Amino acid sequence: MPSPNAESTAFRSALEVIRAVEPRVADAIGAELADQRESLKLIASENYASPATLLAMGNWFSDKYAEGTVGRRFYAGCQNVDTVEALAAEHAKELFGAAHAYVQPHSGIDANLVAFWAVLADRVEAPALKKAQVRQVNDLTEQDWFTLRRELGNQRMLGMSLDAGGHLTHGFRPNISGKMFDQRSYGTDPVTGLVDYDKVAEAAREFKPMILVAGYSAYPRKVNFRIMREIADSVGATFMVDMAHFAGLVAGKVFTGDFDPVPHAHIVTTTTHKSLRGPRGGMVLCGPELADQVDRGCPMVLGGPLPHVMAAKAVALAEARRPDFAGYAQRVVDNAQALAEGLLRRGAKLVTGGTDNHLVLIDVAGYGLTGRQAEQALLDSGIVTNRNSVPQDPNGAWYTSGIRIGTPALTTRGLGVAEMDATAELIHTVLGRTTPGSNTDGTPSKAKYVLDPALADKVSRQATDLLSAFPLYPSITLA
Ligand code: DSN
């Protein structure tokens, strides 16, 4: 344990030094801590990294270029970067039981791109790949992309549809993955909201993808990766899992057996900052057969690695290997289930009727609202969430009909199932008392809403009261 005042001293000193150069930055950093302390953070993809993780990012590693891999760099003087990159990879391998870990990706999108190119490089004939690689990606027109896809053999990717909870990077057109691959999606059962493995198998048989992707950012249930691997094998697909959202539940051994992606997938990607509670960044895990291709991520796909973030990954992964991380991971799920039960008891409509992971998706059409109206009304009331599509969403991806809420951040803060019931009450109160607004010409608006400001203030105060027993970073005082 650090000495009692070490964390406060570290952050206070850092701010003092920053303030001497650009006081507005120091003020904004302080204000961010204050805002995070005061709000009920229910964004399913956010968390609170430890002081040690945060501090590991603010140092001289930021100044170092280190293209290449451990012991094989394109720059001299990388011995200390080698130390932290090797440590992060070692912790990741031990934590997840993976043969290989590549810890350089700067984000989840980067990790997925590294994985896609590794699979393409492994499976596409070398001349086609070489031809495809000679272009400057930034200059490509739609026609160029069409040609490039053709040169790559029109490789196919099958992933979960966006409105069922899949992610943009799983082959959708606004993302580069949708330009690299011909994409098709599998959805969820219209009645249960659950993945229908028979339908996935049917889609795989028809479409014959090169890559079958599992993983989600808004699906509130477990996925059976053993079955998904069998489907992939039956059509000769590479099975990839993007576990960005639930990596903390895998690390904490809440998702085991068929629900642990690592033993079942050929390649697994993740971010490190969501339920895993590390610094912002990404990571790829794989077996020895894809390791060499994955390690070419930089410069194939990535810019120079961020050694300061790899240092923080090493710290956070070391924390996740401690016994108490399993307790945190279990509480994340217990809390999500308590929140879901609290909402259901009060009459909310939830996609799939509940959760068995860290997130809950409220279908706010049950309150007569769009996701955008609900998100803003909750924000006015001190509750930070994000709007999200629901399956077959009639309001599209901008207005949406859903609110996604998640428990990793509040769980890290120490809130438990009793506070989740209180949180459900606050959410239900706000949504139940918000009504859709109108445009100036009297037509119904999908964005405007009516909420009594006095009620929003009251709920805000209740949220602050709820949080007051669970101070965020209690060891740190900045003033
Ligand atoms: N933006 C992340 C999320 O909120 O789920 C996924 O990329």
426: nearest Cα among 18, 11, 7, 39: 39
- Greater model confidence, 135 or 435: 435
Tens-digit pLDDT profile for residues 317-336: 999 999 999 999 999 999 99
Residues 158, 240: Cα–Cα separation, whole Å: 10
Residues 23, 432: Cα–Cα separation, whole Å: 42
Residues tagged active-site: 65, 67, 242, 271, 274, 280
Evaluated on CA atoms 416, 417, 422, 425, the torsion sign reads positive
The finding on whether 217 has its CB within 6 A of some atom of ligand 1 is yes
Amino acid identity for residue 310 in this structure: M
* pLDDT exceeds 70 at position 136: no
Q: How far is the CA of 217 from the centre of ligand 1 (A)?
A: 6
The minimum-distance atom of ligand 1 relative to the CA of 169 is 7
Tokens of 40: 């009920």
Residue with the smallest CA separation from ligand 1 atom 3 is 45
Domain coordinates in residue numbering, the chain: 60-320, 323-468
Q: How far is the CA of 469 from the centre of ligand 1 (A)?
A: 29
The finding on whether 45 has its CB within 6 A of some atom of ligand 1 is yes
Residues 13, 9: Cα–Cα separation, whole Å: 6
Q: How far is the CA of 398 from the centre of ligand 1 (A)?
A: 15
Give how far Cα 280 sits from Cα of 57, 107, 108, 375, Å.
10, 7, 9, 24
The minimum-distance atom of ligand 1 relative to the CA of 386 is 4
Band (pLDDT 50/70/90 cuts) for residue 205 is: very high
Beta-sheet pairing, 359-363 with 402-406:
antiparallel
Residue with the smallest CA separation from ligand 1 atom 1 is 45
Mean pLDDT of the chain: 95
Lowest mean per-residue pLDDT among 135-139, 261-265, 285-289, 298-302: 135-139
Residues 238, 155: Cα–Cα separation, whole Å: 12
Burial of 442 (0-12, 13-18, 19+ CB in 10 A): exposed
Residues 393, 416: Cα–Cα separation, whole Å: 32
Residues 58, 10: Cα–Cα separation, whole Å: 11
**Could you tell me the maximum CA-CA distance found in the chain, to the nearest angstrom?**
67
Tens-digit pLDDT profile for residues 11-34: 999 999 999 999 999 999 999 999
CA torsion 340→344→350→355, rounded to 10°? 30
Q: How far is the CA of 68 from the centre of ligand 1 (A)?
A: 28
Give the mean model confidence (pLDDT) for residues 209-230.
Answer: 98
Residues 247, 387: Cα–Cα separation, whole Å: 22
The predicted pLDDT at position 410 comes to 98
Query: Does the domain at residues 60-320 carry the CATH identifier 3.40.50.10490?
Result: no
Q: Give pTM, 2 decimals.
A: 0.95
The predicted pLDDT at position 138 comes to 60
Residues 392, 164: Cα–Cα separation, whole Å: 8
Query: Does the domain at residues 323-468 carry the CATH identifier 3.90.1150.10?
Result: yes
Given ligand 1 and candidates 169, 170, 274, 405, which is best to mutate, with the most ligand atoms within 8 Å of its CB?
A: 274
Band (pLDDT 50/70/90 cuts) for residue 470 is: very high
Tokens of 181: 């691959």
Given ligand 1 and candidates 213, 217, 359, which is best to mutate, with the most ligand atoms within 8 Å of its CB?
A: 217
Output phi, psi for 283, to 5 deg: -165, 150
The finding on whether 108 has its CB within 6 A of some atom of ligand 1 is yes
* Count of C-beta atoms within a 10 Å radius of residue 164: 24
Give the mean model confidence (pLDDT) for residues 167-180.
Answer: 89
Q: How far is the CA of 386 from the centre of ligand 1 (A)?
A: 10
The minimum-distance atom of ligand 1 relative to the CA of 218 is 5
The predicted pLDDT at position 137 comes to 58
Residue with the smallest CA separation from ligand 1 atom 2 is 45
Tokens of 211: 């890559």
Q: 3-state SS of the chain?
A: CCCCCHHHHHHHHHHHHHHHHCHHHHHHHHHHHHHHHHCEECCCCCCCCCHHHHHHCCCHHHHCCCCEECCEECCCCCHHHHHHHHHHHHHHHHHHCCCEEECCCCCHHHHHHHHHHHHHHHHCCHHHHHHHHCCCHHHCCHHHHHHHHHHCCCCEEEEECHHHCCCCCCCCCCCHHHHHCEEEEECECCCCCCECHHHHHHHHHHHCCCEEEEECCCCCCCCCHHHHHHHHHHCCCEEEEECCCCHHHHHCCCCCHHHCCCCCCCEEEEECCCCCCCCCCEEEEECHHHHHHHCCHHHHCCCCCCHHHHHHHHHHHHHHCCHHHHHHHHHHHHHHHHHHHHHHHCCCCEHHHCCCCCEEEEEHHHHCCCHHHHHHHHHHCCEECEEECCCCCCCHHHHCCEEEEECHHHHHHCCCHHHHHHHHHHHHHHHHHCEEEECCCCCEEEEEEECCHHHHHHHHHHHHHHHHCCCCCCCCCCC
The predicted pLDDT at position 134 comes to 56
- Greater model confidence, 427 or 172: 427
Residue with the smallest CA separation from ligand 1 atom 4 is 45
Residues 75, 363: Cα–Cα separation, whole Å: 52
* pLDDT exceeds 70 at position 132: no
* pLDDT exceeds 60 at position 135: no
Q: How far is the CA of 153 from the centre of ligand 1 (A)?
A: 30
Tens-digit pLDDT profile for residues 21-69: 999 999 999 999 999 999 999 999 999 999 999 999 999 999 999 999 9
Angle 79-96/307-320 helices, nearest 10 degrees? Answer: 30
